[in-house]
Amino acid sequence: MKKTTGTGDTSGTNATSGSGDIGRSLELLWGTGDRPSRGPKPGLTLDRIVATAVGIADAEGMDAVSMRRLSTELGTGTMSLYRYVPGKAELLDLMLDRVQGEPLDAVGTREPVDWRAAVESMARTHLGLLRRHPWLLKINQARTVLGPSAVRGLEVSLAGIKGMGLRDAELISVIIAVQSFVVGIARMEAESDEAAKETGLSHEDFWDGQRPYLERAMASGEFPLMAALSEDAFSTGFDHFEFGLRRLIDGFETLVAERAGE
């Protein structure tokens, strides 16, 4: 995704730092944004660019976010964007950190009542975020571990589960387990929606379309257990998120009780 040009030399023009992209990303993320003293005032702001990009992604998905499209939306030339952002990858990093800040504004770092409630809230908040911005799933999150919003989010999460009485590495692991589960669920949902939108087929039409193939397979006798499943096993009435979350919390409970008993 990085070397699309083929001519190489992605970080040669940037005189400020020879380190590459990630340093630039961090600088933009944490940076103060002080302008140079000489020259005309910029007609845009980083904030406006990122906000607009997020708007496009929310409305039409990540694929719609291109530098040309973004510049059109902003009423500027395409290349002007590169005055503010070194490349598209860095723009994505900024988009990521921006929306990650959303839930934090509402929550604040209030005292946690109970770690179970905290875990639940963490999962629900995260899932809500991913549902609101499904394009988040298409951005490499490993890059921006250390944006301001990510750090704040981690702090809030830690505050919630501190009371579990686990070792530090285990607390991190709890967070990772919950986030992993949530991401997995969100991914399923997002992909389902995406597929529905792309093919123009609704959920029901989709399943109806599969039915003949499925039925032939079931009739073959090769899949006895699947054939024996009741009709509503795949029904949309069952909330797989709630189910999984409950199990996960129960699992944590077991560990916490175990530790307390020793």
Partner DNA sequence: CTCATCAGGGTACGCCGTACTCAATTATGT
Partner DNA sequence: ACATAATTGAGTACGGCGTACCCTGATGAG
The phi and psi torsions of 110 (rounded to 5 degrees) equal -75, 165
141 binds, among DNA, a copy of itself, none (CB under 5 to 8 A by kind): a copy of itself
Q: How far is the CB of 174 from a copy of itself (least distance, A)?
A: 8
17 binds, among a copy of itself, DNA, none (CB under 5 to 8 A by kind): none
User: Which C-beta is closer to DNA: that of 10 or that of 52?
Assistant: 10
Answer yes or no whether residue 59 interacts with a copy of itself by CB under 8 A.
Answer: no
Answer yes or no whether residue 130 interacts with DNA by CB under 7 A.
Answer: no
Answer yes or no whether residue 52 interacts with DNA by CB under 7 A.
Answer: no
Measured CA to CA, the distance from residue 11 to residue 15 in angstroms comes to 9
User: Which C-beta is closer to DNA: that of 39 or that of 237?
Assistant: 39
Measured CA to CA, the distance from residue 120 to residue 114 in angstroms comes to 10
Answer yes or no whether residue 76 interacts with DNA by CB under 7 A.
Answer: yes
Question: Which DSSP category does 43 fall into?
Answer: S
Measured CA to CA, the distance from residue 116 to residue 105 in angstroms comes to 22
Measured CA to CA, the distance from residue 102 to residue 129 in angstroms comes to 8
Measured CA to CA, the distance from residue 250 to residue 241 in angstroms comes to 14
Nearest to 22 by CA among 148, 149, 145, 151: 145
Contact letters for a copy of itself, residues 75-114 (x by CB under 8 A): --------------x-------------------------
Measured CA to CA, the distance from residue 42 to residue 49 in angstroms comes to 12
Taking every pair of Cα atoms in the chain, the longest distance, rounded to a whole number of angstroms, is 78
Which residue in 83, 132, 247, 259 binds a copy of itself (CB under 8 A)? Answer: 247
Contacts 24+ apart (CB under 8 A), 38-41: none
Answer yes or no whether residue 60 interacts with a copy of itself by CB under 8 A.
Answer: no
Q: How far is the CB of 93 from DNA (least distance, A)?
A: 12
What is the three-class DSSP state of 84?
coil
User: Which C-beta is closer to a copy of itself: that of 40 or that of 169?
Assistant: 169
Measured CA to CA, the distance from residue 180 to residue 95 in angstroms comes to 21
Answer yes or no whether residue 250 interacts with a copy of itself by CB under 8 A.
Answer: yes
176 binds, among DNA, a copy of itself, none (CB under 5 to 8 A by kind): a copy of itself
User: Which C-beta is closer to a copy of itself: that of 43 or that of 229?
Assistant: 229
Nearest to 89 by CA among 61, 67, 57: 67
Q: How far is the CB of 147 from DNA (least distance, A)?
A: 19
Interaction site with DNA (CB under 7 A): 2, 4-7, 9-10, 12-13, 35-44, 65-69, 76-80, 82-84, 87-89
